[in-house]
Amino acid sequence: MENNKRRKRAILMLEDGIKYEAYHFGAPVSSSGEIVFNTAMTGYTESITDPSYKGQILTYTYPLIGNYGIPFSSSCKESISKFYESDRIQISGLIISYYSNRPSHWNMRLSLSDWLYKNGVPGLYGIDTRYIAKKLRKMGGSMLGKILMNNDEDIPFYDPNQDNLSDQVSIHEKIIYGNGKYKILLVDFGLKNNILRCLLQRDCTIIRVPWNYDFTGEEYDGLVLSNGPGNPKIYEKPIHYIRLAMKKERPIFGICLGNQLLGIAAGGDTYKLQYAHRGHNQPVLSLKTGKSFITSQNHGYVLDAKNISKEWKIFFKNLNDDTCEGIIHDYKPFFSVQFHPEASSGPMDTEFLFDFFINSIVRSNTIK
């Protein structure tokens, strides 16, 4: 039953003390976290289950959310969900402008409100989310905030960037998927399921290991460093392992957080963006081919490649703010991208990078 029909009021409170009155849907609980905004028009199921949003209160600028409900949690091969990017809701709260309380879709199992309710996550609607987005942009792309069910209620603000979030969203034991030709070691910092799907479609055996796993003694054809949440500088142990892996000269492919960690391991640095990149419409330019692509992105930190060693080059750059969107080594099979080539949900413009990675494995094996 749609619990938002009672139109209960709740409060959004930002760290500057300003409060916004709104209507409540989802779970009737208070919550706190880092408020971020996303400009995508579709794909809320995928974003809500994306581990990169762990500890965050997600705000959608697109005004109509919930109109196609939530799909069945059916699985494809290897028990990987077809429609969810992890096994649970990852966000701490959801803020939207207008909630569509009469959703319809052939694959709908639940309404968005009922799904949030079942998972204990609150939502707010009736707020001018584009105004919130403008405010967040002025404050560096994010602010701490709270969703309060009662005006007199008080819970502490929570900054997820102070925690090791990968420890909360990564697996804790090794898992093996598939029985393909190429043996891929996948370090899980909070990966999206579509990375698994894309690799399995390319004849891979995937060895998925926890974020802090010492993989330096493992044998593999290629190493993938997944996306994940939080401040990249927290991950000192994995960065050490990546530096050791680079000495093997086996192909390495970093995605999102994996791009930042590979860049730090190569001598670079990271910083928090003034305007974070979250949405499906981020344009990037390949400096190798001169071609531009529209990409899916979700990150507040970015790689500063100024002090990276001269053997590395910028692979892609963002056409909105000229920030680094990926790096590639001159002659070793190492590269990474800041965006999501696996997308999910779209656009799929850069999925070819998985083929680029597999081809680097083929070349490396031929040389070996």
Mean pLDDT across the chain: 93
**What is residue 72's predicted lDDT score, i.e. its pLDDT?**
87
- How would residue 274 be classed by pLDDT, with cut points 50, 70 and 90? confident
**What is residue 368's predicted lDDT score, i.e. its pLDDT?**
63
**What is residue 137's predicted lDDT score, i.e. its pLDDT?**
87
Question: Per residue in 171-211, pLDDT tens?
Answer: 999 999 999 999 999 999 999 999 999 999 999 999 999 99
pLDDT score of 285 more than 70: yes
- Give the Cα separation of 83 and 86 in Å (integer): 9
**What is residue 151's predicted lDDT score, i.e. its pLDDT?**
74
Domains of the chain listed by start with CATH number: 3-162 (3.50.30.20), 166-367 (3.40.50.880)
pLDDT score of 353 more than 60: yes
pLDDT score of 305 more than 80: yes
Q: Which residues are catalytic?
A: 256
Strand 98-99 to 312-318 pairing:
unpaired
Q: Region 134-154: what's the mean pLDDT?
A: 87
Q: Region 43-70: what's the mean pLDDT?
A: 95
Assessment of whether the complete model's pTM goes beyond 0.85: yes
**What is residue 367's predicted lDDT score, i.e. its pLDDT?**
73
Question: Per residue in 94-112, pLDDT tens?
Answer: 999 999 989 999 999 999 9
